[in-house]
Chain A
Amino acid sequence: MIRIANGQGFWGDSLEAPLEQIRRGPIDYLTLDYLAEITMSILQKQRSRDPRSGYARDFVEMIGRGANDLVTRKIRVVANAGGVNPDGCRDAVAKALNHAGIRIGVVAGDDILETLDGMLSRGIEMRNLDTGEPLQSIRARVQSANVYFGAAPIADALAQGSRIVITGRCTDTGLVLGPMLHEFGWARDDWDKLAAGTIAGHTVECGAQCTGGNCQVDWQSIPDFAGIGYPIVEARPDGTFVVTKHAGTGGRVTVASVKEQLLYEMGDPMEYITPDCVADFTSIQLAQDGPDRVRFSGIRGKPATNMYKVSISYSAGFKAVGTLVYSWPNAYQKAKAADAILRRRLESLGLRFDAIRTEFAGVNACHGALAGEPSPDIAEVILRVGVRAADKAPVERFTKEIAPLALNGPPTVTGLGSGRPKVEEIVAYWPALIPKSEVSPRISIQET
Chain B
Amino acid sequence: MARVKLVQIAHARSGDKGDTANVGLIALKPGYYPHLVEQVTADRVKKHFEGICLGAVERFELPNLGALNFLLHESLDGGGTLSLKTDAQGKTYSAALLRMEIDVPDELLSKDSVSN
Show the binding face of A for B, using Cβ within 8 Å: 37-38, 129-130, 214-217, 256, 259-270, 281-286, 316, 319, 321, 355, 357, 359, 361, 365-370, 384, 386-388, 426-429, 431
Which residues from A are CB-within-8-Å of B69? Answer: 263, 266-267, 269
Contact of A265 among B22, B28, B81 (CB under 8 A): B22
> Known interface pairs A260-B11, A366-B92, A367-B92. Does A428 touch B81 (Cβ–Cβ under 8 Å)?
yes
Question: Which residues of A are found within 8 Å of B60, using beta-carbon distances?
Answer: 266, 268-270
Q: With a CB–CB cut-off of 8 A, which chain A residues contact B78?
A: 355, 428
Given contacts A216-B12, A428-B82, contact A265 B17 (CB under 8 A): yes
Q: Residues on B close to A: CB < 8 A?
A: 11-20, 22, 24, 26, 28, 48-52, 60-67, 69, 71, 77-82, 84-87, 92, 94-96, 99
Q: 9 more A-B contacts (CB under 8 A) besides A256-B11, A361-B86?
A: A215-B11, A259-B67, A263-B13, A263-B22, A263-B65, A264-B22, A268-B60, A286-B65, A426-B81
> If the complex has contacts A260-B26, A370-B99, are A265 and B15 also in contact, measured as CB distance less than 8 A?
yes
Q: Is the CB of B12 within 8 A of A38?
A: no
Given contacts A365-B87, A368-B51, contact A217 B77 (CB under 8 A): no
Which residues of B are found within 8 Å of A426, using beta-carbon distances? 81-82
Query: Is the pair A355, B84 in contact by a Cβ cutoff of 8 Å?
Result: yes
Asked if A429 contacts B87 (CB within 8 A), the reply is no
Given known contacts A259-B26, A369-B51, A370-B48, is B13 in contact with A264 (CB within 8 Å)? yes
With A359-B85, A370-B96 known to touch, is A429 a contact of B80 (CB < 8 Å)? yes
Q: Are B96 and A367 in contact (CB under 8 A)?
A: yes
B18 nearest CB neighbor, chain A only: A130
User: Interface on chain A toward B: helix, strand, loop, or mixed SS?
Assistant: mixed
- Give Cα distance in the complex from A264 to B90, angstroms: 11
- Considering the chains assembled together, what is the distance between the CA atoms of A269 and B48 in angstroms? 23
With a CB–CB cut-off of 8 A, which chain B residues contact A367? 52, 92, 95-96, 99
Provide the bound-state CA to CA distance between A386 and B67, in Å: 36
Closest to A36 in B: B80
A282/B62 contact (C-beta < 8 A), A37-B80, A265-B22 known: yes
Chain B residue nearest to A323 in the complex (CB)? B86
Inter-subunit contact B13/A216 (CB<8 Å): yes
Separation in Å of the B52 CB from the closest CB of chain A? Answer: 5
**Contact between A217 and B11, CB atoms less than 8 A apart:** yes
A263:B24 contact, CB within 8 angstroms: yes
Knowing A269-B69, A316-B81 touch, does A366 contact B62 (C-beta < 8 A)?
no
A263-B28 Cα distance, complex, nearest whole Å: 15
Closest residue of B by beta carbon distance from A427: B81
With a cutoff of 8 Å between Cβ atoms, the chain A residues found around residue B67 in the complex are 259, 263
A214, A259, A266, A359 — most chain B CB neighbours (10 Å): A266
Q: Chain A residues near B51: list those with CB within 8 A.
A: 368-369
Q: How far does the Cβ of A353 sit from chain B's closest Cβ, in whole Å?
A: 10
Does A263 contact B26, Cβ atoms closer than 8 Å? yes
Chain B residues with Cβ under 8 A from A285's Cβ? 64
Q: Say how far B95's CB is from chain A's closest CB, in angstroms.
A: 7
A129–B19 Cα distance when bound, in Å, is 11
8 smallest beta-carbon distances between A and B, as pairs? A263-B24, A386-B84, A265-B15, A357-B84, A260-B13, A366-B92, A216-B11, A130-B18
Judging by beta carbons under 8 Å apart, are A368 and B13 in contact? no
Asked if A266 and B65 make an inter-chain contact with CB atoms under 8 angstroms apart, the answer reads no
- Most chain A CB within 10 A, of B13, B92, B95, B99, is at B13
Contact of A366 among B18, B79, B80, B86 (CB under 8 A): B86
